[in-house]
Amino acid sequence: MKTKYQRMSKKEKKACKIAYYNTKEGNLMRVRLFRLSLTGTIGILFSLYILTNNYLNNKVDWTTWVSSIPLLIASIFFITASFYLRRKNLNLFAIKEEKKAKKNGK
């Protein structure tokens, strides 16, 4: 089932994002989601560095896998969670704005 935000056109989505990020809550959420996605990106890069560095030095053993694979999985989870939370918050904002518009229109 599509959400209110997913059913919007590109122009409506852009206007919704601008309106949401201009609010205090939206600005705070933007910073938090940026930190979450940045943490995920750094984690992925670091786990790939661990794997490639140990592979090039012929030191790949079980400790390499134990340290890099969970870090890679957690980092991917962080990035997907940031996209999910962004879409969820924008959808809630779109629903709230639609209710305000209907209330003010009647």
Q: Which residues of 65-81 are buried (b: 16+ CB within 10 A; e: fewer)?
A: eeebeebbeebeebbee
CA distances from 69 to 14, 23, 35, 77, 84 (A): 37, 38, 21, 12, 22
What tens digit of pLDDT does each residue of 20-31 get? 999 999 999 999
State the pTM of this model. 0.81
Query: Which residue ranges make up each domain of the chain?
Result: 10-105
Q: Can you read off the two tokens belonging to residue 21?
A: 């990020």
Q: What pLDDT digit, counting tens, does each position of 67-90 carry? A: 899 999 999 999 999 999 999 999
Tell me the pLDDT of the chain averaged across its residues. Answer: 90
Can you tell me the distance from the alpha carbon of 96 to that of 59, in angstroms, rounded to the nearest whole number?
A: 55
